[in-house]
Amino acid sequence: MISALLSSVLLFHVRKIRGDLPPEIRNAVAVVGAATLALLFYAKYGIDYLNQEYIGEYYYAVPAFLGCFTFIAASAFVSNRVRAIFDICIAVLCAVIVFSQIKKPVSYDFAYNQPSAAEIHNTLVALRAPKKLALDLIDTEDWGNVWSTILGAQILAERSKQGQFCINRGWHISFTLAARCSPEELRSGSRYIVTAESTAQRPKDDHEIDVGGLRIIRRLPPSLDDKGTITVAKSPLLFSDYLLQMGWSPVQSDFVWTTADEAQLSLPLGQNFSGDVLLDMAAYLPQADSTQEVQLVDDQGHASTALFSQADNRKIIRLHILQAAGNPVTFTLKIKAPIVPSALGLGRDQRRLGVSLYGLEIVSSRQ
């Protein structure tokens, strides 16, 4: 970074000796200056962990400009013959540097070949049913190890052409889109929770496997039939680990927010269940004239709409199920206009809040 700034100063000094610089060179100087200032600003206000060098990898383009700057500066003081020799030396040096960097293993190579990833891959292959496994990755204190190990297992699965699992919860930008679980894979596949073994709060039971530093837990969905009212306050793990799919915030003390345009709720019901699902919900309405509209669609395409206002906010939404086509039944909540509190000057919360869920009740028509 210091070299970039010094080179820019040197170029401007050359400009005084040889006259105005070509537009291309002036633009290059501006790019280096802008990139340097951008990285400094980003490091100050946008980067949480400065030891994560990949965050600023775009700045590696600056050394390429520095080579050009050095040549331009030197050419102002030497003959054409010396300049030609200099050109050849710079070309050879660049070729050697590029070749050495290409041959050098990348810093994240361990994630592709770590033994724990191979162990996880082999374990998932052994667990695989006729359908894909659906994995819920639980965010723990050792979250980096959880997603990177599963990422390594995914890469091995791609190499071996054994796409034995998909990712449902705990999505990470490093995973490919093809690895995200589809609604059909969630309904038909075996479900597993993946968390760090080091953060597990209890000894493993018959449905759990410790391998590669992770704990893989068979997700046996509970039946919600005849359970009465189930609240987030009393059963937070039921909601966070089983019922809430994409589009939800972490569970709070007595409710959970939607944080996207769409959120999914998966309810394990009895075979051929008929009856009603009652959802206890409220909308985020920060101002007196705030309103919200939510469309709720089940996996058979049946839809209903709920309207929220200050005068009619927290309410029970009734969803009728004539006959459940599969287990679990998935509802998609489509939020018309999520609201960002910080955009209204209400604190620093940048989540896109829609509606909050406090609990639910399953009412069978056979009762």
Written as one string, the DSSP assignment of 225-244 is: TT--EEETTT-HHHIIIIIB
Asked whether the predicted pLDDT for residue 6 surpasses 60, the reply is: no
Average pLDDT of the residues in 6-35? 62
Asked whether the predicted pLDDT for residue 69 surpasses 80, the reply is: no
Cα angle: 108, vertex 217, 201; to 5 degrees: 90
**To which residue do tokens 């489509």 refer?**
334
Main-chain phi, psi angles of 67, to 5 degrees? -60, -45
Asked whether the predicted pLDDT for residue 349 surpasses 70, the reply is: yes
Residue 308, pLDDT score: 94
Structure confidence by residue, pLDDT tens digits, 281-309: 999 999 999 999 999 998 777 888 999 99
Predicted TM-score (pTM) of the model is 0.52
Model confidence band, residue 10 (pLDDT cutoffs 50, 70, 90):
low
Which of 88-92, 264-268, 281-285, 346-350 holds the top average pLDDT? 281-285
Cβ contact 100:157 at 8 Å: no
Residue 17, pLDDT score: 44
Would you call 366 helix, strand, or coil by DSSP?
A: coil
Asked whether the predicted pLDDT for residue 202 surpasses 70, the reply is: no
Asked whether the predicted pLDDT for residue 203 surpasses 60, the reply is: no
Residue 355, pLDDT score: 95
Q: Please indicate whether residue 130 or residue 325 has the higher confidence score (pLDDT).
A: 130
Asked whether the predicted pLDDT for residue 280 surpasses 90, the reply is: yes
Mean pLDDT of the chain: 79
Q: Tokens standing for 165?
A: 């699992």
Helix runs in the chain, H state only: 2-18, 23-45, 61-75, 80-103, 109-113, 115-127, 143-160, 183-188, 236-238
Structure confidence by residue, pLDDT tens digits, 228-251: 889 999 888 788 877 888 899 888
Residue 43, pLDDT score: 81
The DSSP line for 107-136 is TTHHHHH-HHHHHHHHHHHHH--SS-EEEE
